[in-house]
Amino acid sequence: MRLLVVEDDRSLAEALRRGLTQEGHVVDAVHDGTEGLDLAQSGVHDALILDVMLPSQDGMSVARHLRAEGIHLPILMLTARDSLPDRISGFDAGADDYLTKPFAFEELLARLRSITRRGSGAIAQERLVIGDLVMDTVSREVTRVGRVIDLPPREYALLEYLMRHPGQALSRTMILDRVWEYGFDSFANVVDAAILRLRKAVDEGYEQQLIQTVRGVGYRIKA
C-alpha cells in the first residue's frame, strides 16, 4: 500500500516511515497539516496516519475537510489524548480508528489492516490472483504455480499495483506516482528498470508472460 503519514514529531514520523517501508509499504511523510491535506487530496494513497496536534491546521480539521469533500481515504488518527470525549471528537471528524500514543508498532499495523479492509473493494481484497500468480496481501507472500517468489519491497509494491488493475494499461507516470515516494526525483527509466527486475522474478522460465509492455503507454499485467 501507499501510505501518508502526517506527524509533526519528526523522530516519530521517521520511525514510522522506516518501519512501514520495511513492511513493504510506500510511505510519504510530512509534518504540517496543510501540506498533509494537500497530499491526502491527491488520491494516490491507500490510508492516512494522521496526528491530531499539527502546525497550520490540526488533524481534526484535516479529517473534516477530507470528509466534506467526499474523500473516503481510511484515516488512523494518532494522539496523546486518551479521554473518551477526545476519541469521540476524532470519530466525529471522520477518523476510522484512533490510536493513543505511545503505541506498539504491531498494533498500528493491525489497525491499518483493519481500516483498509473496511475500505474500497480493491483495498479490501486480501488475495490477488492472476492466472497461476497469487499474492496474499496479509502474509505478503507471492507464489506462482505454488513456488514462492521473494520480492524486495519496491518490486512487491509494483506487482501489487499491477495486480489490483488487471488488464489496465498503466503509464509510467501513474506507476511513479503510486509506487514511489512523494517528491521522488526520477525519470521513467526507473520504472523500466523495476519492471525488468519484476519480469525476471515473475515471468522468467514460464511459457505465459504475465507482465506486458503497452507500446507508447506503459505496462499492464495480463488479465
As assigned by CATH, the class of the 2-122 domain is: alpha beta
98: β partners: 77
Mean confidence (pLDDT) of the chain: 88
Does position 14 have pLDDT exceeding 50, yes or no?
yes
The yes-or-no verdict on residue 134 having pLDDT over 50 is yes
Q: Is residue 187 over pLDDT 90?
A: no
Query: For 190-211, what is the mean pLDDT?
Result: 93
Rounded distance between C-alpha atoms, residue 106 and residue 129, angstroms? 27
Mean pLDDT on 161-171: 91
Residue 214, phi-psi category: left (phi > 0), alpha (psi -120 to 50), beta (remainder): beta
Domain residue limits, the chain: 2-122, 125-221
Would you state the pLDDT for residue 84?
Answer: 77
Phi-psi region of 181 (alpha: psi -120 to 50; beta: other; left: phi over 0): beta
Residue 138 confidence (pLDDT) above 80: no
DSSP for 124-136, written as a single string: H--EEEETTEEEE
Which has the minimum average pLDDT: 71-75, 112-116, 121-125, 171-175? 121-125
- The residue type found at 183 is G
Angle, in degrees to the nearest 10, between helices 84-93 and 59-68:
30
Q: What is the CATH number of domain 125-221?
A: 1.10.10.10
Tell me the pLDDT band of 22, cut-offs 50, 70 and 90.
confident
